[in-house]
Structure 1
Amino acid sequence: MPSTLLWGAAGGIGKALTQQLTASGHTVVAISRHPAEMKSLTPHVIAADLSQPPQVSAAARMAAGMGAPFDLFIYAAGDIASLKTAEMTPADWNRILSANLTGAFLTAQASLPHLKADARLVFIGAVHERLRLPGLSAYAAAKAGLEAFAEVLRKETRLPVLVIRPGAVDTPFWKKVPFSMPKNALSPQALAEKILTALEEDKTGVLDIS
Structure 2
Amino acid sequence: MTLEAKAVLLTGASGGIGQALAQQLDQAGATLWLTGRNEAALKTLAAKLSRPAHIVIADLASNAGRQHLLENLGTQPLDAVVFAAGTNHFALLGDQNAEQLSQLINTNLLAPMQLTQSLLPRLSADARLLYIGSSLGAIGYPGFAAYGASKAGLRSFAQALRREWADSPRQVCHIAPRATQTEMNSTAMQQMNQQLKVKADSPQWVASQVLRQLQATQMHDQDLGYPEKLFIRINAVLPGVVDNAITSQLPVIKRYAKQNVSQALTTGEAL
Query: Which TM-score applies when normalising by structure 1?
Result: 0.90
Q: Give the Cα separation in 2 of the matches to 1:113 and 1:199.
A: 20
For structure 1, which segment, 107-116 or 8-17, has the greater mean C-alpha deviation from structure 2 after superposition? 107-116
Hey, what does 2:73 align to over in structure 1?
A: 63
Superposed displacement of residue 62, structure 1: 0.8
For structure 1, which segment, 23-32 or 78-87, has the greater mean C-alpha deviation from structure 2 after superposition? 78-87
Q: Give the Cα separation in 2 of the matches to 1:195 and 1:165.
A: 10
Moved over 6 A (4+): none
Tell me if structure 1 keeps the 8 A contact 2:138–2:152.
no
Hey, what does 2:193 align to over in structure 1?
A: 180
Percent identical pairs in the alignment equals 33
Q: Give the Cα separation in 1 of the matches to 2:117 and 2:108.
A: 15
Gaps of 5+ in 2: 47-52, 226-271
Tell me if structure 2 keeps the 8 A contact 1:81–1:136.
yes
Superposed displacement of residue 206, structure 1: 2.0
Hey, what does 2:82 align to over in structure 1?
A: 74
Hey, what does 1:83 align to over in structure 2?
A: 91
Tell me if structure 2 keeps the 8 A contact 1:81–1:176.
no
Tell me if structure 1 keeps the 8 A contact 2:193–2:199.
no
Q: Deviations over 1:94-140 (max 9, x none)?
A: 11111211111122122221110100000001112665222211111
**Which runs of structure 2 are paired with 1:55-204 in the superposition (5 Å)?**
55-65=65-75, 68-128=76-136, 131-158=139-166, 159-175=170-186, 178=189, 179-180=192-193, 184-204=199-219
Three-state SS of the structure 1 residue aligned to 2:164 is helix
Superposed displacement of residue 183, structure 1: 7.0
Hey, what does 2:64 align to over in structure 1?
A: 54
Superposed displacement of residue 177, structure 1: 5.2
Supply the RMSD in Å over aligned alpha carbons: 1.9
Letter in 1 for 2:203: P
Q: Give the Cα separation in 2 of the matches to 1:15 and 1:85.
A: 31
Letter in 2 for 1:119: A
Which of these two proteins has the greater Rg computed from alpha carbons?
2
- Which structure: greater helix fraction? 2
Q: Give the Cα separation in 2 of the matches to 1:180 and 1:191.
A: 18
Gaps of 5+ in 1: none
Superposed displacement of residue 17, structure 1: 0.8
Hey, what does 2:222 align to over in structure 1?
A: 207
Tell me if structure 1 keeps the 8 A contact 2:137–2:151.
no
Hey, what does 1:39 align to over in structure 2?
A: 43
